[in-house]
Amino acid sequence: MLDELLLRELTPAVIGVLVRRGADFATAEDAVQEALVQASLSWPDGQPDDPKGWLVTVAWRKFLDARRSEAARRDREERVEVEPAPGPAESADDTLALFFLCAHPSLTPASAVALTLRAVGGLSTRQIAAAYLVPEATMAQRISRAKRTVSDVRFTEAGDPATVRRVLYLVFNEGYTGDVDLASEAIRLTRQLAAVDDGEETAGLLALMLLHHARRPARTRPDGSPVLLNEQDRSLWDTALIAEGVEVLQAALARDRLGEFQAQAAVAALHADAPRAEETDWTQIVGWYDELLRLTGSPVVALNRAVAVGEADGAAAGLAALATVDPGLPRHTAASAHLHEKAGDLTAAARLYAEAARTAPTLAERHHLTREAARIGQALG
Protein backbone atom coordinates (compact mmCIF):
# COMPACT_ATOMS: atom_id res chain seq x y z
CA MET A 1 0.00 0.00 0.00
CA LEU A 2 1.33 3.44 -0.93
CA ASP A 3 2.45 5.46 2.10
CA GLU A 4 1.80 9.02 0.88
CA LEU A 5 2.84 10.59 4.19
CA LEU A 6 6.23 8.84 4.03
CA LEU A 7 6.74 10.13 0.49
CA ARG A 8 6.02 13.67 1.59
CA GLU A 9 8.28 13.39 4.64
CA LEU A 10 11.18 12.16 2.51
CA THR A 11 10.83 14.92 -0.10
CA PRO A 12 13.05 17.61 1.51
CA ALA A 13 15.79 15.11 2.34
CA VAL A 14 15.90 13.82 -1.24
CA ILE A 15 16.01 17.34 -2.69
CA GLY A 16 18.87 18.08 -0.31
CA VAL A 17 20.84 15.05 -1.53
CA LEU A 18 20.50 16.14 -5.17
CA VAL A 19 21.55 19.69 -4.40
CA ARG A 20 24.61 18.44 -2.51
CA ARG A 21 25.52 16.32 -5.54
CA GLY A 22 25.56 19.39 -7.75
CA ALA A 23 21.99 19.86 -8.97
CA ASP A 24 20.48 23.32 -8.94
CA PHE A 25 17.46 23.65 -6.68
CA ALA A 26 14.83 24.16 -9.41
CA THR A 27 15.89 21.13 -11.45
CA ALA A 28 16.38 19.00 -8.34
CA GLU A 29 12.86 19.82 -7.14
CA ASP A 30 11.39 18.94 -10.54
CA ALA A 31 13.32 15.66 -10.59
CA VAL A 32 12.09 14.72 -7.11
CA GLN A 33 8.49 15.47 -8.10
CA GLU A 34 8.90 13.10 -11.06
CA ALA A 35 10.33 10.47 -8.73
CA LEU A 36 7.33 10.87 -6.42
CA VAL A 37 5.01 10.29 -9.37
CA GLN A 38 6.93 7.15 -10.28
CA ALA A 39 6.78 5.98 -6.67
CA SER A 40 3.00 6.45 -6.63
CA LEU A 41 2.84 4.08 -9.61
CA SER A 42 5.39 1.52 -8.40
CA TRP A 43 5.10 1.35 -4.61
CA PRO A 44 1.55 -0.02 -4.37
CA ASP A 45 3.05 -3.30 -5.64
CA GLY A 46 5.59 -3.29 -2.81
CA GLN A 47 7.51 -0.57 -0.99
CA PRO A 48 11.33 -0.78 -1.35
CA ASP A 49 13.45 -1.64 1.69
CA ASP A 50 15.21 1.74 1.46
CA PRO A 51 12.53 4.24 0.33
CA LYS A 52 14.83 7.25 0.57
CA GLY A 53 17.57 5.49 -1.41
CA TRP A 54 15.02 4.48 -4.05
CA LEU A 55 13.78 8.06 -4.42
CA VAL A 56 17.33 9.44 -4.57
CA THR A 57 18.31 6.98 -7.31
CA VAL A 58 15.23 7.66 -9.42
CA ALA A 59 15.35 11.43 -8.90
CA TRP A 60 19.07 11.54 -9.76
CA ARG A 61 18.41 9.67 -13.00
CA LYS A 62 15.59 12.07 -13.80
CA PHE A 63 17.97 14.95 -13.14
CA LEU A 64 20.63 13.46 -15.44
CA ASP A 65 18.04 12.88 -18.17
CA ALA A 66 17.00 16.52 -17.95
CA ARG A 67 20.60 17.69 -18.10
CA ARG A 68 21.38 15.52 -21.11
CA SER A 69 18.55 17.21 -23.00
CA GLU A 70 20.07 20.64 -22.50
CA ALA A 71 22.87 20.87 -25.01
CA ALA A 72 23.56 24.47 -24.06
CA ARG A 73 24.57 23.35 -20.58
CA ARG A 74 26.77 20.42 -21.65
CA ASP A 75 29.64 21.57 -19.46
CA ARG A 76 27.56 21.15 -16.32
CA GLU A 77 26.46 17.71 -17.48
CA GLU A 78 30.10 16.60 -17.73
CA ARG A 79 30.66 17.58 -14.11
CA VAL A 80 27.77 15.48 -12.79
CA GLU A 81 27.56 12.71 -15.39
CA VAL A 82 28.97 9.95 -13.22
CA GLU A 83 26.13 8.38 -11.27
CA PRO A 84 27.03 7.44 -7.68
CA ALA A 85 27.20 3.76 -6.94
CA PRO A 86 24.04 2.22 -5.47
CA GLY A 87 23.92 2.15 -1.70
CA PRO A 88 22.35 3.85 1.30
CA ALA A 89 21.30 7.45 0.70
CA GLU A 90 23.33 10.23 2.27
CA SER A 91 22.32 10.94 5.85
CA ALA A 92 22.88 14.73 5.90
CA ASP A 93 19.67 16.55 6.88
CA ASP A 94 19.10 19.61 4.71
CA THR A 95 15.53 20.16 5.89
CA LEU A 96 16.28 23.42 7.70
CA ALA A 97 18.24 24.80 4.73
CA LEU A 98 15.35 23.89 2.45
CA PHE A 99 12.88 25.64 4.78
CA PHE A 100 15.06 28.76 4.63
CA LEU A 101 15.27 28.61 0.84
CA CYS A 102 11.52 28.24 0.35
CA ALA A 103 10.81 31.13 2.74
CA HIS A 104 13.47 33.40 1.26
CA PRO A 105 12.80 37.13 1.86
CA SER A 106 12.87 37.78 -1.90
CA LEU A 107 9.66 35.78 -2.31
CA THR A 108 6.15 37.11 -1.78
CA PRO A 109 4.26 35.39 1.04
CA ALA A 110 2.01 33.58 -1.46
CA SER A 111 5.01 32.29 -3.43
CA ALA A 112 6.86 31.24 -0.27
CA VAL A 113 3.81 29.27 0.90
CA ALA A 114 3.42 27.52 -2.47
CA LEU A 115 7.11 26.64 -2.73
CA THR A 116 7.22 25.37 0.87
CA LEU A 117 4.21 23.11 0.32
CA ARG A 118 5.74 21.72 -2.86
CA ALA A 119 9.44 21.36 -1.97
CA VAL A 120 9.25 20.70 1.78
CA GLY A 121 5.71 19.36 2.01
CA GLY A 122 5.92 17.14 -1.04
CA LEU A 123 2.47 18.15 -2.29
CA SER A 124 1.71 18.16 -5.99
CA THR A 125 0.92 21.35 -7.85
CA ARG A 126 -2.63 20.08 -8.32
CA GLN A 127 -3.09 19.56 -4.58
CA ILE A 128 -1.75 23.02 -3.74
CA ALA A 129 -3.92 24.65 -6.41
CA ALA A 130 -7.02 22.88 -5.09
CA ALA A 131 -6.23 23.96 -1.53
CA TYR A 132 -5.98 27.60 -2.59
CA LEU A 133 -8.90 27.44 -5.02
CA VAL A 134 -6.89 28.56 -8.05
CA PRO A 135 -6.37 26.85 -11.43
CA GLU A 136 -3.50 24.36 -11.54
CA ALA A 137 -1.83 26.36 -14.34
CA THR A 138 -1.87 29.48 -12.16
CA MET A 139 -0.24 27.65 -9.25
CA ALA A 140 2.32 26.06 -11.59
CA GLN A 141 3.34 29.51 -12.82
CA ARG A 142 3.59 30.80 -9.23
CA ILE A 143 5.84 27.92 -8.22
CA SER A 144 8.00 28.27 -11.34
CA ARG A 145 8.50 31.98 -10.70
CA ALA A 146 9.40 31.27 -7.07
CA LYS A 147 11.99 28.69 -8.08
CA ARG A 148 13.54 31.11 -10.57
CA THR A 149 13.67 33.80 -7.89
CA VAL A 150 15.73 31.64 -5.52
CA SER A 151 17.75 29.85 -8.22
CA ASP A 152 20.99 31.56 -7.16
CA VAL A 153 20.51 31.07 -3.42
CA ARG A 154 22.85 28.46 -1.98
CA PHE A 155 22.15 26.07 0.88
CA THR A 156 25.17 27.55 2.66
CA GLU A 157 23.47 30.93 3.05
CA ALA A 158 22.04 31.56 6.52
CA GLY A 159 18.26 31.79 6.65
CA ASP A 160 15.78 33.44 8.97
CA PRO A 161 13.73 31.06 11.17
CA ALA A 162 11.24 33.86 11.88
CA THR A 163 10.37 34.08 8.18
CA VAL A 164 9.89 30.30 8.00
CA ARG A 165 7.56 30.43 10.99
CA ARG A 166 5.50 33.20 9.37
CA VAL A 167 5.11 31.10 6.22
CA LEU A 168 3.98 28.04 8.19
CA TYR A 169 1.52 30.17 10.16
CA LEU A 170 0.07 31.41 6.87
CA VAL A 171 -0.39 27.79 5.76
CA PHE A 172 -2.09 26.88 9.06
CA ASN A 173 -4.55 29.74 8.83
CA GLU A 174 -5.71 28.73 5.35
CA GLY A 175 -7.76 25.94 6.91
CA TYR A 176 -9.17 22.87 5.27
CA THR A 177 -10.02 23.58 1.63
CA GLY A 178 -9.51 20.93 -1.06
CA ASP A 179 -8.27 17.38 -0.54
CA VAL A 180 -5.35 18.55 1.59
CA ASP A 181 -5.93 19.61 5.17
CA LEU A 182 -3.59 22.61 5.26
CA ALA A 183 -3.89 23.02 9.03
CA SER A 184 -2.74 19.43 9.58
CA GLU A 185 -0.05 19.88 6.93
CA ALA A 186 1.21 23.03 8.68
CA ILE A 187 1.44 21.11 11.97
CA ARG A 188 3.36 18.31 10.26
CA LEU A 189 5.81 20.76 8.70
CA THR A 190 6.21 22.67 11.97
CA ARG A 191 7.05 19.39 13.70
CA GLN A 192 9.74 18.89 11.04
CA LEU A 193 11.04 22.41 11.65
CA ALA A 194 11.08 21.85 15.42
CA ALA A 195 13.13 18.68 14.90
CA VAL A 196 15.96 20.70 13.30
CA ASP A 197 15.48 24.07 15.03
CA ASP A 198 15.19 24.04 18.82
CA GLY A 199 14.25 27.72 19.14
CA GLU A 200 11.63 28.69 21.70
CA GLU A 201 9.49 30.46 19.10
CA THR A 202 9.35 27.40 16.86
CA ALA A 203 8.10 25.45 19.87
CA GLY A 204 5.67 28.29 20.61
CA LEU A 205 4.31 28.13 17.07
CA LEU A 206 3.85 24.36 17.30
CA ALA A 207 2.05 24.73 20.63
CA LEU A 208 -0.20 27.45 19.22
CA MET A 209 -1.16 25.29 16.24
CA LEU A 210 -1.86 22.25 18.42
CA LEU A 211 -4.04 24.22 20.84
CA HIS A 212 -6.05 25.87 18.07
CA HIS A 213 -6.38 22.64 16.09
CA ALA A 214 -7.68 20.84 19.21
CA ARG A 215 -10.82 23.00 19.05
CA ARG A 216 -11.48 22.30 15.38
CA PRO A 217 -14.32 19.74 15.83
CA ALA A 218 -16.37 22.30 17.79
CA ARG A 219 -15.72 25.35 15.63
CA THR A 220 -18.48 25.03 13.04
CA ARG A 221 -22.09 23.93 12.84
CA PRO A 222 -23.27 21.34 10.29
CA ASP A 223 -24.22 24.20 7.93
CA GLY A 224 -20.65 25.56 8.08
CA SER A 225 -21.44 28.60 10.21
CA PRO A 226 -18.90 29.45 12.92
CA VAL A 227 -19.45 28.71 16.61
CA LEU A 228 -18.03 31.32 18.98
CA LEU A 229 -15.47 30.10 21.50
CA ASN A 230 -17.76 30.65 24.48
CA GLU A 231 -20.53 28.64 22.77
CA GLN A 232 -18.44 25.66 21.69
CA ASP A 233 -19.11 22.15 23.00
CA ARG A 234 -15.87 21.62 24.91
CA SER A 235 -16.42 17.89 25.09
CA LEU A 236 -15.55 17.85 21.38
CA TRP A 237 -12.12 19.38 21.96
CA ASP A 238 -9.16 17.04 21.41
CA THR A 239 -7.69 16.68 24.92
CA ALA A 240 -4.59 14.82 23.67
CA LEU A 241 -3.66 17.72 21.38
CA ILE A 242 -4.31 20.19 24.21
CA ALA A 243 -2.06 18.23 26.58
CA GLU A 244 0.70 18.07 23.99
CA GLY A 245 0.37 21.77 23.18
CA VAL A 246 0.58 22.74 26.86
CA GLU A 247 3.61 20.50 27.40
CA VAL A 248 5.44 21.98 24.40
CA LEU A 249 4.57 25.51 25.53
CA GLN A 250 5.67 24.99 29.12
CA ALA A 251 9.05 23.67 27.96
CA ALA A 252 9.50 26.75 25.76
CA LEU A 253 8.42 29.24 28.45
CA ALA A 254 10.80 27.63 30.94
CA ARG A 255 13.72 28.89 28.85
CA ASP A 256 12.64 32.47 29.66
CA ARG A 257 13.02 33.93 26.17
CA LEU A 258 9.47 35.01 25.44
CA GLY A 259 8.35 35.60 21.88
CA GLU A 260 5.14 36.38 20.03
CA PHE A 261 4.08 32.82 19.26
CA GLN A 262 4.71 31.69 22.84
CA ALA A 263 2.51 34.51 24.15
CA GLN A 264 -0.25 33.67 21.65
CA ALA A 265 -0.03 30.02 22.68
CA ALA A 266 -0.31 31.01 26.34
CA VAL A 267 -3.62 32.77 25.58
CA ALA A 268 -4.85 29.68 23.71
CA ALA A 269 -3.77 27.45 26.60
CA LEU A 270 -5.76 29.51 29.11
CA HIS A 271 -8.87 29.14 26.93
CA ALA A 272 -8.24 25.40 26.62
CA ASP A 273 -7.74 25.05 30.38
CA ALA A 274 -11.23 26.34 31.25
CA PRO A 275 -13.80 23.53 31.65
CA ARG A 276 -16.54 26.08 30.97
CA ALA A 277 -16.46 29.47 29.27
CA GLU A 278 -17.47 31.16 32.54
CA GLU A 279 -14.33 29.76 34.22
CA THR A 280 -11.91 31.36 31.75
CA ASP A 281 -9.11 33.24 33.53
CA TRP A 282 -9.55 36.55 31.71
CA THR A 283 -7.22 38.42 34.06
CA GLN A 284 -4.30 36.20 33.03
CA ILE A 285 -5.34 36.50 29.39
CA VAL A 286 -5.20 40.30 29.63
CA GLY A 287 -1.71 39.94 31.10
CA TRP A 288 -0.57 37.86 28.13
CA TYR A 289 -2.12 40.35 25.71
CA ASP A 290 -0.09 43.04 27.49
CA GLU A 291 3.04 41.00 26.76
CA LEU A 292 1.96 40.51 23.14
CA LEU A 293 1.35 44.23 22.73
CA ARG A 294 4.79 44.94 24.15
CA LEU A 295 6.37 42.47 21.72
CA THR A 296 4.46 43.43 18.58
CA GLY A 297 2.69 46.76 18.96
CA SER A 298 0.00 45.18 16.78
CA PRO A 299 -3.36 46.98 16.57
CA VAL A 300 -5.03 43.56 16.17
CA VAL A 301 -3.57 42.53 19.52
CA ALA A 302 -4.83 45.81 21.02
CA LEU A 303 -8.31 45.00 19.69
CA ASN A 304 -8.27 41.49 21.16
CA ARG A 305 -6.93 42.89 24.42
CA ALA A 306 -9.87 45.34 24.64
CA VAL A 307 -12.34 42.46 24.37
CA ALA A 308 -10.43 40.54 27.05
CA VAL A 309 -10.44 43.61 29.31
CA GLY A 310 -14.22 43.77 28.86
CA GLU A 311 -14.47 40.19 30.13
CA ALA A 312 -12.03 40.68 32.99
CA ASP A 313 -12.98 44.16 34.24
CA GLY A 314 -16.42 44.84 32.77
CA ALA A 315 -17.87 46.28 29.59
CA ALA A 316 -17.09 49.91 30.48
CA ALA A 317 -13.38 49.11 30.87
CA GLY A 318 -13.45 47.15 27.60
CA LEU A 319 -15.06 50.03 25.71
CA ALA A 320 -12.50 52.44 27.17
CA ALA A 321 -9.68 50.18 25.93
CA LEU A 322 -11.38 49.82 22.55
CA ALA A 323 -11.58 53.61 22.21
CA THR A 324 -7.76 53.67 21.90
CA VAL A 325 -7.81 51.28 18.90
CA ASP A 326 -8.11 52.42 15.28
CA PRO A 327 -11.85 52.20 14.43
CA GLY A 328 -10.99 51.32 10.83
CA LEU A 329 -9.49 48.01 11.91
CA PRO A 330 -11.32 44.90 10.65
CA ARG A 331 -13.65 43.47 13.33
CA HIS A 332 -13.49 46.68 15.40
CA THR A 333 -17.21 47.23 14.88
CA ALA A 334 -18.04 43.64 15.84
CA ALA A 335 -15.98 43.98 19.02
CA SER A 336 -17.79 47.24 19.82
CA ALA A 337 -21.15 45.52 19.25
CA HIS A 338 -20.20 42.73 21.66
CA LEU A 339 -19.07 45.15 24.36
CA HIS A 340 -22.16 47.36 23.98
CA GLU A 341 -24.36 44.30 24.34
CA LYS A 342 -22.41 43.30 27.44
CA ALA A 343 -22.95 46.83 28.79
CA GLY A 344 -26.72 46.48 28.26
CA ASP A 345 -26.97 48.98 25.40
CA LEU A 346 -28.95 46.71 23.09
CA THR A 347 -30.01 49.44 20.67
CA ALA A 348 -26.39 50.36 19.92
CA ALA A 349 -25.40 46.68 19.84
CA ALA A 350 -28.06 45.81 17.22
CA ARG A 351 -26.99 48.74 15.05
CA LEU A 352 -23.29 47.85 15.37
CA TYR A 353 -23.84 44.13 14.64
CA ALA A 354 -25.72 45.07 11.45
CA GLU A 355 -22.96 47.49 10.46
CA ALA A 356 -20.28 44.88 11.16
CA ALA A 357 -22.16 42.33 9.03
CA ARG A 358 -22.03 44.67 6.01
CA THR A 359 -18.24 44.85 6.17
CA ALA A 360 -17.47 41.30 7.37
CA PRO A 361 -14.40 39.80 5.64
CA THR A 362 -16.01 36.38 5.11
CA LEU A 363 -19.47 35.13 4.20
CA ALA A 364 -19.59 32.96 7.35
CA GLU A 365 -18.88 35.97 9.56
CA ARG A 366 -21.46 38.04 7.70
CA HIS A 367 -24.14 35.44 8.36
CA HIS A 368 -23.14 35.16 12.01
CA LEU A 369 -23.21 38.92 12.61
CA THR A 370 -26.53 39.24 10.79
CA ARG A 371 -28.01 36.60 13.10
CA GLU A 372 -26.64 38.47 16.12
CA ALA A 373 -28.27 41.69 14.95
CA ALA A 374 -31.58 39.85 14.40
CA ARG A 375 -31.35 38.18 17.81
CA ILE A 376 -30.97 41.51 19.60
CA GLY A 377 -33.64 43.06 17.40
CA GLN A 378 -36.05 40.39 18.60
CA ALA A 379 -35.08 41.08 22.22
CA LEU A 380 -35.87 44.75 21.67
CA GLY A 381 -39.32 43.76 20.41
SS3 sequence of 170-198: HHHHCCCCCCCCHHHHHHHHHHHHHHHCC
Contact 36, 75 (CB under 8 A): no
The closest alpha carbon to 118, from 3, 2, 11, belongs to 11
Q: Is the dihedral of CA 275, 244, 97, 51 positive or negative?
A: negative
Q: Is the dihedral of CA 175, 36, 29, 95 positive or negative?
A: positive
Contact 333, 305 (CB under 8 A): no
The predicted model scores a pTM of 0.83
pLDDT in the model for residue 82:
46
Alpha carbon 245 to chain centroid, angstroms: 15
Contact 277, 251 (CB under 8 A): no
Q: Is 16 helix (H, G, I), strand (E, B) or coil?
A: helix
Contacts (Cβ under 8 Å, ≥6 apart) of 229 = 215, 271, 277
pLDDT in the model for residue 270:
98
pLDDT in the model for residue 76:
47
Contacts (Cβ under 8 Å, ≥6 apart) of 13 = 52, 89, 93, 94, 95
Domain borders along the chain are 1-92
The closest alpha carbon to 202, from 150, 255, 238, belongs to 255
Cα–Cα distance for residue pair 381/367, rounded to 1 Å: 21
Q: Could you write out the DSSP letters of every residue in 236-289? A: GS-HHHHHHHHHHHHHHHTT----HHHHHHHHHHHHHH-SSGGG--HHHHHHHH
pLDDT in the model for residue 218:
94
Question: Mean pLDDT in runs of 10 for the chain (381 residues)?
Answer: 80 88 87 89 84 91 81 49 48 74 89 91 88 90 92 74 91 71 90 91 97 93 83 96 98 96 98 95 98 96 98 97 95 97 96 94 87 92 77
Cα–Cα distance for residue pair 177/130, rounded to 1 Å: 7
Cα–Cα distance for residue pair 340/112, rounded to 1 Å: 41
pLDDT in the model for residue 70:
61
Cα–Cα distance for residue pair 38/155, rounded to 1 Å: 27
